[in-house]
Amino acid sequence: MTEDIIEDTESEPEELPDESITELEENDSEYEDDLQELELEEEQTQELLEASSNIGSISFTTTDLRTSQTISFKGNAGKVQMIIFGGISSCGNTNSVLDTLNGMVKSVSASSMNIYVFDIVGNSTSDILAETGNLNSMIRVANYNANAATLRQTCAGAVGLGSRFTMPFIVYVDASGNVYDSSTGYVDADKIASSLKSGGINITVGAMQTLYVTQYASYSYAYQILNIVNEKRAEQGLSALQMDKELLEAAMQRAAECSVYYSHTRPNGTSCYTASSKMNRENIAAGYVSPEDVMSGWLNSSGHYAKPFQYGNQHIHIHMEHGARMTQTTGMNVQTLLPVQIGRAA
């Protein structure tokens, strides 16, 4: 889903419609919402593509959404800067990158680099805060205003980025304000570490380890959720989803992984979509005691609500793991022992 975007005015921030950008749908190239399309005027696009790779002249103030404090951005800050433009809370790629980055920067001094994250989609502040509440304080979740929009456009011109790109758009800037590297879409810990190393920031990505997780799978709960999903789809005139066995096993694996590291990023640092080539969306939840409870939580969250109700969906995978907080589990419970690959930044 792409729409024409009205460019910024001098006094108003760039406003992107919610439906203009969605998270990356892996292995689902037929959907246009795999990409964010920003329609720039032809003259402006040409101007951007001819832009200098130096953003040192850009300077502005904005607000840190988590602290409500005013923060200053300077293109030539005298240290390495990592700037992330994405869809916080609504883009799986952006959230996965933030989760990965959060584990990496624990060993980095805030005096050695700046990290700015801008939500360019227009998600609500409450949704953004819910997604970023546990991030390291050196990751600044900044308000996306008109000046930040100019920064994004200038960075896009500096790297020759066209009008279509997959979120997040990440830019790496040296101490003098020179853009020395960039990426679009999901990137893993190794890529982030490599880009930062090019700027003089050394982060060691931890070696892979294997942890075996014992869990109890409730297939009856999984099928109850499937029934609820199909009831809601029927209300919208959509066809019923079918349970896919391969995806069901992938969901079991993801549940085990989420018990170790609760994120759309797998404990080995890769995207959740690598669990199965069939995957293109994922909802996760914890702390609920019944299928009705977890579905209520998802249905009341706009981003989670949309995933089971896309027209192109045909299959679904559901897995529920229960432990001390899910003692009401009934039906067919199967104990399983699953390997979880762990590779976080050291």
Give 242-304 as a DSSP string.
EE-HHHHHHHHHHHHHHHHS-SSB-TTSSBGGGG-TT--------S--SHHHHHHHHHTSHHH
For residue 80, give the 3-state DSSP assignment: strand
Please give the residue that has the higher pLDDT: either 27 or 189: 189
Cα–Cα distance between 244 and 317 in angstroms, integer? 6
Answer yes or no: is pLDDT of 178 > 90: yes
Is the whole model's pTM more than 0.85, yes or no?
A: no
Residue corresponding to tokens 């942890």:
211
Q: Report residue 225's pLDDT band, with 50, 70 and 90 as the boundaries.
A: confident
**Helix-then-strand count for the chain, H and E:** 9, 13
> What number of CA atoms fall less than 13 Å from residue 278's CA on the CB side?
14
Please give the residue that has the higher pLDDT: either 197 or 267: 197
> Looking at residues 15-43, what average pLDDT do you find?
40
Answer yes or no: is pLDDT of 37 > 80: no
- Residue 308, preceding peptide bond in cis (omega within 30° of 0): no
pLDDT at residue 140 in the model:
96
> Looking at residues 122-141, what average pLDDT do you find?
91
pLDDT at residue 51 in the model:
52
Please give the residue that has the higher pLDDT: either 299 or 28: 299
Q: Report residue 286's pLDDT band, with 50, 70 and 90 as the boundaries.
A: confident
Q: Which of 62-71, 189-198, 204-213, 280-289 has the lowest mean pLDDT?
A: 204-213
pLDDT at residue 289 in the model:
75
Share above pLDDT 70 across residues of the chain, in percent, rounded to a whole number: 69
Q: Which amino acid is at 294?
A: V
